[in-house]
Amino acid sequence: MSAAWRRARAAADLAARGVRGARTRLRDNRRRGAPARPFPVVPPARPLPLSRERVGEDLARRGYRYRFDGDGDVTGTWDGNRFWFLLLGSHQEILQVRGRWSGIIPPQARLSVLQAANDWNRERVWPKVYVREESDGLALYAEVSVDFEHGATDEQLAATVSCGLVTATQFFATVGALTPGD
């Protein structure tokens, strides 16, 4: 029997003794009249339907300033960049956190910004980033979208909002280093 096999066997025996020991302690507690469950059971949070109001409440809990734009979407500015919190889909079940970089992409930086966006999308899951031609030149966007068809808990909503804001802001900072200052 090899040394590796002996170590694996010893670890398995130790784990089995730990499980048996926990069962013995639980049985002994029951005999003494202790509750059958040593830890309180906390019911899981129930998912609730998405709404613009819930998104606003999450932002307000964090002390963030936001407003509702002309379309009724939640919007605000973080690190100088405009963000929207959109409810998409036929039942408004998809939460999309979309940010637009406030910087200017000069024509000579177009290739490096496109390469940065391509590299980011290849190496990371969030956010999806892209460059879009607009009336005043090139604009840079970042998006995180999550489908909450069955609703979202407050924690899931908060995690999605945080993910969208943090990852987009990280990307915008990366691109900012590639473009000349104003």
At 106 the pLDDT is: 86
Predicted confidence (pLDDT) at residue 62 exceeds the cutoff of 50: yes
Average pLDDT over residues 60-69: 97
pTM above 0.85, yes or no: no
Which comes out higher in pLDDT, residue 140 or 1? 140
At 61 the pLDDT is: 96
Measured between alpha carbons, how far is 125 from 103 in angstroms, rounded to an integer?
23
| Total residue count of the chain as it appears in this document | 182
At 22 the pLDDT is: 52
At 182 the pLDDT is: 52
At 168 the pLDDT is: 97
2-54 pLDDT, tens per residue? 665 555 555 455 454 544 555 565 566 666 665 655 667 788 899 999 999 99
127-165 pLDDT, tens per residue? 999 999 998 889 999 999 999 999 999 999 999 999 999
Measured between alpha carbons, how far is 145 from 94 in angstroms, rounded to an integer?
7
* Domains of the chain in sequence order: 1-42 (no CATH), 52-176 (3.30.1460.10)
Average pLDDT over residues 75-86: 97
| CB count in 10 Å sphere of residue 14 | 9
At 96 the pLDDT is: 98
Average pLDDT over residues 54-60: 98
How confident is residue 89, by pLDDT bands cut at 50, 70 and 90? very high
Residues 6+ apart with CB under 8 A from 120: 129, 171, 174
Measured between alpha carbons, how far is 110 from 175 in angstroms, rounded to an integer?
11
Predicted confidence (pLDDT) at residue 68 exceeds the cutoff of 70: yes
